[in-house]
Structure 1
Amino acid sequence: MKQKKIPQRKCIACQDRDSKRDLIRIVKNKEGEIFVDPTGKANGRGAYICNNVECLEKAVKSRALNRAFKLEIPQEIYEKLGEEIKKYEK
């Protein structure tokens, strides 16, 4: 029997590839809202980041989310994402 393929995604901060389930998805929807998507199924443009605060800090410093979503992201959103990631951190 064939093994099912595990979807791979790349962290926008450290560029490591990992299974989709092990990364946290950040979404920008049509209304321009940016939020953490724990289900991985929300509509909108998604970017993936490792499940740790170091990668979020690296993404903030390198402005990786700005490039991924092609817009300037305010500091409050980064702070909110930091709180959300701490909830899901292993």
Structure 2
Amino acid sequence: MGVAVDLTLVDLTSGQRLEMGTPFDTFAPPAHTANATGLARTNRERLGRAMASAGFTNYDQEWWHYIYQVEGAVPFDIVVR
């Protein structure tokens, strides 16, 4: 159990998203974390290092998806309306 977050990198000066190789939520092999070259690969690796340093792990089929495991977390089984 844990939490998940979807994110990308942004240039703090311009506010523009950095090149990651595919748009967010592209569910195809080019979006797999390892399937990038050049600047996109560099940026994916930078994102991965930053997230790993905070304890997150990447879902390798989505460069934008990171998971944080919470030890002892209890799942809830409730109806949400």
TM norm. shorter chain > 0.5: no
> Could you tell me the TM-score, scaled by structure 2's length?
0.30
Q: TM-score, normalised by structure 1?
A: 0.28
Higher relative contact order (CA 8 A, sep 6+): 2
Structure number with greater Rg is: 2
- Bigger fraction of residues in helix: 1
